[in-house]
Structure 1
Amino acid sequence: MIVTLSQLLELVEDSLDQQELDLASFARAQGSTEYHLRRMFSSLFGMPLAEYLRRRRMTVAVADVLGERRLLDIAVQYGYSSTEAFGRAFRAVHGSSVAEVREHGGPLRSQPKLRLRITIEGNTPMDARITDLPATRLVGYAARVPLIYQGANPHIQAHIAALPPEVHGQLKALANAQPEGLLAITADVDPDYVEGSQLSYLHGVSVSPETAIPTELDVIELAAGKWAVFKTSGQYPAALQETWAATATDWFPANPWRLRPGPSMVSVLERSEDFSTATTELWLPIEES
């Protein structure tokens, strides 16, 4: 994975003055998928691949903007169909318009090339297992919420708090499949994992396909497949979020698996009364790489 991402960074540099980055072809050639590469890139570098490409393009475009070429020619060179679209992207990166930069030379914000450096890490083993799940249904109460990297998500907290107290017991009584118990389920996540992007959150449980489901519940259908399950204990949700990040930085690069599209699930095995600490399992859908 480290070699693949290094090659992807070089592909970005080779694609700065092309219409589009052909990530799908690159992923196929690497024996990977576009979905997995986007998720790993965002997790490792802290920004979506598309955003990095835009920043790099606007960084190198400054030399052309300060020259004598027509703005439309420059826009087309960097993959934009109009000077207006190019101008919006330029301002979004630099905070200055093309006209201001041509007149005053700045201010400018550059995006340096990202580089991967190998360091000795991973000295803490990750508690993980691989399991097969048959076709399953996830049922519960869904809401659209923004993605938040760190700390408790207040939108999810508000969604759960708004549910009647008896709902939690009713859901637990319905559960009859793995993972057991009440689950925190996230689906429809942006492949680039952009903070603030919308996702579907389901407060629910796992049931067998033949289970009778009350009509008021939302349903996510899961096809049979493999899952990586990561167990963690400690401060909640900090320990869980650290484990989630470590799957990208440590576990996936060291193992012959990649993410496949699908929801992620968190099962709370034990928790303190005030929920400040907990033992959880993070379930991620995977396939052989």
Structure 2
Amino acid sequence: MDMILKDLNDSIDYIDKNLTNDLSLFDIANFVGLPEQHYRNIFIFLTGVGLSEYIKKRKLYFANKDLLNKETVTNVAIKYGYSIDGFTKSFKEWSGYLPSQIYENQVLISYPKLSFAINVKGGLNMKTRIVELPKINIVGVQKRVPMQFEGVNDEIEKLANSITDMQKKEMHNLQNIEPKEIVNVSYNADEDFVKEEGHLTHMIGVLTTENNISDQLDVINIDKSKWIVFENEGEFPKKLQDTYARIYSEWLPETEYKLADIPMFSFTKFNDSNKNIAYSEIWVAVIN
């Protein structure tokens, strides 16, 4: 636990030292030796704030201090990677003041530096099992969608509805390894730290050991790997999303495993008598 907390807090120091540079999710995650998507997820699940939002507000906080030191609006905007109009809009939304009003009114809006700590929570078991999979492909249909951590993602629903009968038939014919379910995979997340936007690639598909796959389906290649499977059942999607949060905030700091740079996947089976209740599994690839 101490090591992961140190790495996370070191990443916060790294962010502060590079606010005037072109920060990327890759750079930050690479600095602490974590896969990009896992770092981003750890960040939001432990802090409750998105990485892009945090970086944006730290930039604006330091910009606020620079303006109090009589730096020009133009220089400050360029310093933190904004256009003048973009900086003025973002600063006004954040502080309630135009940048040009800061020195005259001697305004300083605080946005403190984060510090990671783990609150130990007992009494809640996490049902898991270990599964080893051979080299596989996840095949299906994918698109870029906005990142969303709560509720139902409308764009993913649209993706599901867009799958053609021919695509469904091929996926059914290819599916030949457990779990023989329709799985959801999110990967290749990006973040725009200035615009505070983020998208990721989401695939709806199946697992297969076959390699003869038509062009109508997208493919994620995954080498032989070990997986921790997290089982959960309850109100959907809340229970599933809560389990993702607990993986990062409770299980990861205590485990001896390290996260592999392989996308997680999950599947959900709804209760026949109550469609608000579902059984789900989250599959997380690990290395010893």
Taking structure 1 as the reference length, the TM-score comes to 0.78
CA distance in 2, matches of 1:24, 1:117: 23
Cα distance change, pair 82–234 in 1 and its aligned pair in 2 (3 A): closer
Q: What is the DSSP-based 3-state SS (H/G/I as helix, E as strand, rest coil) of the residue aligned with 2:190?
A: coil
The equivalent of 2:205 in structure 1 is 204
Cα distance change, pair 276–167 in 1 and its aligned pair in 2 (3 A): farther
The equivalent of 2:281 in structure 1 is 281
The one-character-per-residue Cα deviations of 1:188-216 (angstroms, maximum 9, x if unpaired) are 23379999632222222111134x43442
The equivalent of 2:135 in structure 1 is 135
Cα distance change, pair 120–138 in 1 and its aligned pair in 2 (3 A): closer
Q: How does 1:65-214 map to 2 (within 5 A)?
A: 65-69=67-71, 80=81, 90-91=91-92, 93-106=94-107, 109-163=109-163, 168=168, 171-190=171-190, 197-210=198-211, 212-214=212-214
Tell me whether 1:255 sits opposite 2:264 in the alignment.
no
Tell me whether 1:237 sits opposite 2:240 in the alignment.
no
Structure 2 unaligned residues grouped into runs of 5+: none
Amino acid in the other structure paired with 1:2 = L
CA distance in 2, matches of 1:29, 1:221: 26
CA distance in 1, matches of 2:14, 2:198: 26
CA distance in 1, matches of 2:135, 2:95: 49
The 8 Å contact of residues 24 and 33 in structure 1, kept in 2 or not, is answered as no
Cα distance change, pair 123–67 in 1 and its aligned pair in 2 (3 A): same
CA distance in 1, matches of 2:123, 2:93: 40
CA distance in 2, matches of 1:152, 1:261: 26
Percent identity of equivalent pairs: 26
The equivalent of 1:33 in structure 2 is 34
The one-character-per-residue Cα deviations of 1:196-246 (angstroms, maximum 9, x if unpaired) are 632222222111134x43442222222222322211111122111110111
Q: What is the DSSP-based 3-state SS (H/G/I as helix, E as strand, rest coil) of the residue aligned with 2:184?
A: strand
The equivalent of 2:8 in structure 1 is 5
CA distance in 2, matches of 1:249, 1:223: 27
Cα shift at 1:251: 1.0
Q: What is the DSSP-based 3-state SS (H/G/I as helix, E as strand, rest coil) of the residue aligned with 2:233?
A: strand
The 8 Å contact of residues 35 and 260 in structure 2, kept in 1 or not, is answered as no
Cα distance change, pair 17–197 in 1 and its aligned pair in 2 (3 A): closer
- The number of aligned residues is 283
Structure 1 unaligned residues grouped into runs of 5+: none
Cα distance change, pair 34–109 in 1 and its aligned pair in 2 (3 A): farther
Cα shift at 1:159: 2.5
CA distance in 1, matches of 2:99, 2:188: 37
The one-character-per-residue Cα deviations of 1:97-153 (angstroms, maximum 9, x if unpaired) are 3212233345x6431232344433143121123333222111222233222211222
Cα shift at 1:258: 3.5
CA distance in 1, matches of 2:111, 2:158: 37
More displaced, 112-121 or 128-137? Answer: 112-121
Taking structure 2 as the reference length, the TM-score comes to 0.78
CA distance in 1, matches of 2:66, 2:19: 11
The 8 Å contact of residues 55 and 110 in structure 1, kept in 2 or not, is answered as no
Tell me whether 1:53 sits opposite 2:55 in the alignment.
yes
